[in-house]
């Protein structure tokens, strides 16, 4: 894909290189899988293919940064200090968008927001938010029970795919007895819970 230059000064190949430098080969393959899936979903559901590509390539940009660096940025850039009680799972998207903005000079709010909510989802999600959230879950490299079903649903109805992913992610977190981030509960209440 050729980028327009509206959202990043970098060509796609250069953006890919900048992302690749930040992570393991395995995680980079995941990122490329998310990009492929996000572009397909954007085509199907009528979102910008370019924004889908950029958001997908950058969604896990900060995932391999140290806890120390995240804690420093949370304090320095006036994030809610409650975030300090959480960890990389929650930080790498929500705070990671800040690294993407500063280091890759991507300022498009829609792209940054899709990065912020890609892990937990949100009660209110834009089309691009949903595409990145779902693509992250169903990209070709993902292998877990239920992923085939998630892929099928994503081809039929994107909101249903958001609901399916949210329900199964929450069930998985409960099974592991890990702390549930409040935003994850908000996503569940909006997209899964029966009124």
- Contact set with ligand GDP (CB under 6 A): 30, 60, 63, 89, 93, 118-120, 136, 169, 173, 178-181, 184
Contact (CB, 8 A) for 99 and 65? yes
Task: Find, among 51, 43, 120, 48, the residue nearest to 83 by Cα.
Answer: 120
Please report whether residue 136 would count as binding Fe ion according to CB under 5 A.
Answer: yes
Q: Which is nearer to ligand GDP, 3 or 186 (CB)?
A: 186
| First vs last C-alpha separation in the chain | 42
Q: Which is nearer to ligand GDP, 60 or 108 (CB)?
A: 60
H or E, element range at 152: helix 147-156
Q: Which is nearer to ligand GDP, 3 or 173 (CB)?
A: 173
Q: Which is nearer to ligand GDP, 164 or 181 (CB)?
A: 181
From the list ligand GDP, Fe ion, none, pick the one residue 89 interacts with, judged by a Cβ distance below 5 to 8 Å according to partner type: ligand GDP
Residues 60-89 that bind Fe ion (CB under 5 A): 60
Please, where are the H alpha helices in 46-84?
49-58, 67-76
Q: Which residue's Cβ has the minimum distance to Fe ion?
A: 136
Task: Find, among 1, 2, 28, 6, the residue nearest to 105 by Cα.
Answer: 6
User: Cβ 17 to ligand GDP, closest distance in Å?
Assistant: 20
Task: Find, among 38, 33, 36, 25, the residue nearest to 141 by Cα.
Answer: 33
Q: Tell me the window of 11-19, 56-64, 80-88, 123-131 that interacts with Fe ion (CB under 5 A).
A: 56-64
Contact (CB, 8 A) for 67 and 88? yes
Q: Which residues bind Fe ion (CB under 5 A)?
A: 60, 136
């Amino acid at each position: 894909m050729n980028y327009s230059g509206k959202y990043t000064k970098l060509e796609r190949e250069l953006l890919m290189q900048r992302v690749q430098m930040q992570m393991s080969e395995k995680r980079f393959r995941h990122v490329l899988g998310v990009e492929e899936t996000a572009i397909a979903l954007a085509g199907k559901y009528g979102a910008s293919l370019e924004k889908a590509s950029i958001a997908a390539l950058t969604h896990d940009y900060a995932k391999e940064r140290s806890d120390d660096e995240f804690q420093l940025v949370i304090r320095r850039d006036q994030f809610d200090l409650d975030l300090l009680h959480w960890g990389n799972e929650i930080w790498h998207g929500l705070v990671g968008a800040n690294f993407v903005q500063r280091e890759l000079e991507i300022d498009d709010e829609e792209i940054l927001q899709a990065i912020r909510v890609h892990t937990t989802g949100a009660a209110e999600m834009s089309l691009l938010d949903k595409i990145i959230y779902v693509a992250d879950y169903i990209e070709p490299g993902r292998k877990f029970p239920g992923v085939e079903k998630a892929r099928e649903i994503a081809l039929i109805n994107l909101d249903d795919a958001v609901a399916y992913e949210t329900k199964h992610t929450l069930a998985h977190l409960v099974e592991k007895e890990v702390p549930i981030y409040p935003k994850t509960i908000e996503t569940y209440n909006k997209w899964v819970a029966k009124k």
